[in-house]
């Protein structure tokens, strides 16, 4: 156990040494004397001692010290260890400092410097005695408080026991009264029981269900009149449960076999099983009665089986209805089979029709089925039109047989068509090797479909190269605008089509791809409807007079699908190219030619720049 500690605080080491020596002589080795030369050191020492479970009984502090004064130190020590006694030792403390120490640190004594050894020894001895006397008194006070609490609790428990005793006496009186009432009620209940038994018997006689009751020993206890009618007899004396099946002629339905013992509802109930059986028959001399049987065990208060109740009813009408239902179901299955065949044929016809008339075309017209479409129906809608055509197809087809031509076109179209569907478009018509597709949603869908078609063409050309066929090129033109979509023809022959100047512009743009040597061109109307134009590799290339239109058409090249080298070159020279075109349009052909030449120097594969350079050189 750690000894009590006395801390001495003074900024002069000689005074600390004197204090320690005098205190050790006065108190012996019963106390640990620690010293500190300023307030901060004293607080740190106090914290360490308390953490190490030392009991600091007394702090003796000088008043005048560098940094923290003695009264402030004792105030902070009091906040940390309130029970520690404090003595201020100084010759310069004023009344206010002593007052602060008394008020805020509960100062025990004030000793002026220089001190008298006997006075110091006596004061410290009294202080530590007072400290431990207070500690003993606190323990006794705590013990006394605990004794008082225990005594109070005991008094409460005694009062509770007395209350419970009175309550128990009251309850006993009530129980005696209740017992008398119970005896009276029991007599009433016995009378009611006999009445209920009589009513139960009347009820069981009135229900259209046979009821048979046996006790746990298998002795018949009750059978109602409906059971006697169905069984052809009542209770047969001296009959054990194993003989009931034969005595009452209970057979498996549709057979001449008595009900097997393992299926006997009476025996199963006596074994604790509740069962329902609907495949038994009662054979009387002149008729056979199909029955449904329910059996259930009845338990006494101890959980032991006391009785078995068997209820059964005539299900002749149900069996007849089941036979009729089975015949009806067979007829219904036959009808369903024919209906399913008809629906399959209709589905095949619908699938075949969708190959000629896209489902999305019908949806735009507001129909679900081709049957609903009427001649002359039309709707106006903003749509994007895509034209795609194989370059030099005529020359290519001359080297193939007609069958090879069909095989080639179908191989090409079977790769391109799914791409259009993937981007929410649909094919309006095939024009030889050309495709005309419509996109009713965002213009981005049409542009993305065109880019994807060019990527798909790269895969197809690789396949052709592997088969020793020459690669092919295609041109794609896209325009966006208002158009009329509907049906034309006559009652016996009609077709779906679109009518609009926007269609003609898209077709002209596809043809312009040959002039500029690029695979994909779009119009200004398509470009401005793109949600994010920065998402695409696109540049302005010309404003042209399209056949059939008085106004110039602004044309943009989309080159996302170009070879990476050429695509990068076009992106780098885009600003220079567009500046060169402006100079060309202003007939500054020499300056324009220089810029077009710079574009070609950086990107020799730029066909459009090459075309404009040649045009400039002609002037």
pLDDT tens per residue across span 285-327: 888 999 899 999 999 989 999 999 999 998 888 888 888 898 8
What pLDDT does residue 359 have? 56
What pLDDT does residue 350 have? 46
| Statement to judge: residues 369 and 495 lie in one domain | yes
**Residue 173 belongs to some domain of the structure:** no
As a whole number of angstroms, the distance between CA 515 and CA 299 comes to: 101
Final residue of a structural domain among 142, 159, 174: 142
| Statement to judge: residues 555 and 569 lie in one domain | no
Mean pLDDT of the chain: 84
pLDDT in tens, 504-528: 899 999 999 999 999 999 999 999 9
**Residue 380 belongs to some domain of the structure:** yes
**Residue 333 belongs to some domain of the structure:** no
What pLDDT does residue 94 have? 59
Residue 213 host element (H or E): strand 210-215
Cβ–Cβ < 8 Å for 88, 106: no
| Mean pLDDT score, 430-454 | 90
**Residue 153 belongs to some domain of the structure:** no
What pLDDT does residue 125 have? 83
Question: Percent of the chain at pLDDT above 70?
Answer: 88
| Mean pLDDT score, 529-550 | 88
What pLDDT does residue 606 have? 93
Higher per-residue pLDDT: 179 or 337: 179
pLDDT at 375 over 50: no
pLDDT at 185 over 50: yes
What pLDDT does residue 577 have? 95
Spatial CB neighbours of 43, under 8 Å, sequence gap ≥ 6: 73, 76, 77, 80
Minimum mean pLDDT range among 248-262, 367-381, 592-606: 367-381
Cβ–Cβ < 8 Å for 493, 371: no
306 is in which domain, residue-wise? Answer: 207-314
Question: What is the sign, positive or negative, of the torsion defined by CA atoms of 209, 210, 215, 216?
Answer: negative
At residue 18, the 3 state secondary structure works out as helix
- C-alpha distances in Å from residue 591, one per residue of 544, 579, 597: 22, 10, 10
What is the domain count for the chain? 4
| Statement to judge: residues 583 and 547 lie in one domain | no
Higher per-residue pLDDT: 188 or 582: 582
Tell the residue number behind the tokens 């003609």, with chain if given. 504
| Statement to judge: residues 91 and 55 lie in one domain | yes
**Residue 569 belongs to some domain of the structure:** yes
Cβ–Cβ < 8 Å for 28, 124: no
What pLDDT does residue 366 have? 46
What pLDDT does residue 221 have? 87
pLDDT at 367 over 50: no
pLDDT at 351 over 50: no
pLDDT at 101 over 80: no
**Residue 190 belongs to some domain of the structure:** no
Residue 85 host element (H or E): strand 85-89
Angle between the N-to-C axes of helices 574-585 and 589-602, in degrees from 0 to 180, rounded to the nearest 10 = 160
pLDDT at 331 over 70: yes
Confidence grade of residue 498 (pLDDT, cut at 50, 70, 90): low
| Statement to judge: residues 383 and 269 lie in one domain | no
Higher per-residue pLDDT: 369 or 62: 62
Cβ–Cβ < 8 Å for 50, 74: no
Cβ–Cβ < 8 Å for 225, 201: no
What pLDDT does residue 455 have? 96
**Residue 521 belongs to some domain of the structure:** yes
Instruction: Give the best-scoring range by mean pLDDT among 143-152, 406-415, 565-574.
Output: 565-574
What pLDDT does residue 140 have? 85
What pLDDT does residue 370 have? 44
What pLDDT does residue 486 have? 56
What pLDDT does residue 97 have? 61
> What's the CA angle centered on 302, arms 297 and 304, to 5 degrees?
35
Higher per-residue pLDDT: 256 or 336: 256
What pLDDT does residue 494 have? 47
Confidence grade of residue 231 (pLDDT, cut at 50, 70, 90): confident
| Statement to judge: residues 51 and 111 lie in one domain | yes
| Statement to judge: residues 398 and 536 lie in one domain | yes
pLDDT at 24 over 70: yes
CATH code assigned at 557: 3.30.70.1230
**Residue 41 belongs to some domain of the structure:** yes
Confidence grade of residue 146 (pLDDT, cut at 50, 70, 90): confident
Spatial CB neighbours of 516, under 8 Å, sequence gap ≥ 6: 541, 542, 557, 607, 608, 611
Query: How close are the terminal C-alpha atoms of the chain, in Å?
Result: 114
Higher per-residue pLDDT: 271 or 125: 271
What pLDDT does residue 98 have? 66
């Amino acid at each position: 156990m750690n000894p009590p500690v006395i801390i001495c605080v003074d900024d002069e080491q000689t005074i600390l040494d004197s204090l320690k020596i005098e205190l050790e002589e006065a108190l012996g080795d019963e106390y640990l004397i620690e010293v500190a030369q300023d307030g901060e050191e004293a607080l740190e020492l106090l914290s360490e001692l308390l953490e190490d479970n030392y009991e600091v009984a007394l702090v003796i502090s000088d008043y005048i010290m560098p940094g923290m004064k003695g009264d402030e130190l004792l105030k902070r020590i009091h906040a940390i260890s309130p029970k520690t006694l404090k003595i201020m030792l100084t010759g310069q403390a004023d009344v206010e400092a002593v007052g602060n120490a008394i008020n805020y640190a509960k100062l025990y004594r004030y000793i002026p410097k220089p001190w008298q050894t006997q006075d110091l020894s006596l004061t410290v001895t009294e202080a530590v005695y007072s400290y431990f006397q207070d500690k003993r008194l606190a323990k006794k006070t705590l013990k006394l408080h605990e004794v008082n609490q225990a005594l109070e609790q005991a008094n409460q428990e005694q009062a509770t026991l007395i209350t419970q005793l009175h309550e128990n006496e009251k309850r006993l009186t009530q129980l005696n009264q209740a017992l008398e009432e119970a005896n009276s009620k029991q007599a009433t209940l016995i009378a009611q029981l006999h009445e209920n038994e009589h009513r139960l018997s009347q009820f069981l006689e009135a229900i259209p269900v046979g009821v048979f009751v046996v006790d746990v020993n298998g002795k018949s206890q009750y059978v109602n009149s409906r059971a006697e009618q169905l069984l052809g007899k009542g209770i047969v004396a001296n009959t054990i449960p194993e003989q009931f099946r034969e005595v009452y002629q209970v057979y498996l339905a549709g057979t001449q076999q008595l009900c097997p013992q393992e299926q006997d509802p009476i025996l199963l109930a006596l074994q604790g099983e509740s069962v329902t059986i609907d495949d038994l028959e009662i054979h009387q001399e002149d008729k056979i009665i199909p029955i449904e049987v329910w059996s259930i065990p009845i338990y006494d208060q101890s959980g032991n089986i006391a009785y078995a109740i068997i209820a059964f009813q005539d299900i002749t009408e149900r069996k007849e209805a089941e036979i009729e239902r089975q015949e009806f179901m067979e007829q219904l299955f036959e009808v369903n089979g024919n209906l399913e065949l008809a629906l399959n044929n209709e589905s095949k016809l619908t699938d075949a029709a969708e190959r000629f008339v896209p489902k999305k075309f019908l949806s735009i017209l507001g129909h679900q089925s081709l049957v609903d479409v009427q001649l002359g129906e039309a709707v106006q809608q903003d749509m994007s039109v895509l034209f795609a055509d194989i370059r030099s197809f005529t020359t290519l087809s001359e080297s193939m047989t007609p069958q090879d031509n069909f095989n080639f076109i179908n191989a090409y179209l079977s790769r391109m068509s799914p791409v259009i569907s993937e981007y929410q478009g649909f094919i309006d018509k095939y024009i030889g090797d050309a495709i005309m597709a419509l996109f009713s949603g965002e213009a981005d869908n049409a542009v993305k479909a065109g880019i994807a078609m060019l990527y798909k063409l790269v895969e197809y050309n690789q396949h052709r190269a592997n088969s020793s066929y020459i690669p092919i090129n295609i041109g794609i033109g896209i325009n966006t605008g208002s158009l009329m979509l509907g049906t034309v023809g006559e009652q016996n022959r009609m077709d779906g089509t679109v009518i609009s100047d926007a269609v003609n512009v898209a077709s002209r743009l596809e043809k312009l791809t040959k002039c500029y040597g690029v695979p994909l061109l779009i119009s200004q109307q398509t470009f401005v409807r793109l949600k994010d134009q920065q998402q695409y590799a696109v540049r302005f290339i010309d404003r042209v007079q399209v056949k059939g239109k008085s106004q110039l058409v602004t044309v943009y090249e989309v080159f996302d699908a170009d070879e990476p080298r050429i695509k990068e070159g076009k992106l780098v020279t885009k600003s220079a190219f567009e500046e060169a075109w402006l100079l060309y349009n202003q007939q500054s052909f020499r300056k324009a030619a220089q810029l077009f030449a710079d574009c070609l120097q950086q990107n020799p594969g730029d066909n459009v720049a090459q075309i404009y350079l040649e045009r400039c050189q002609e002037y």
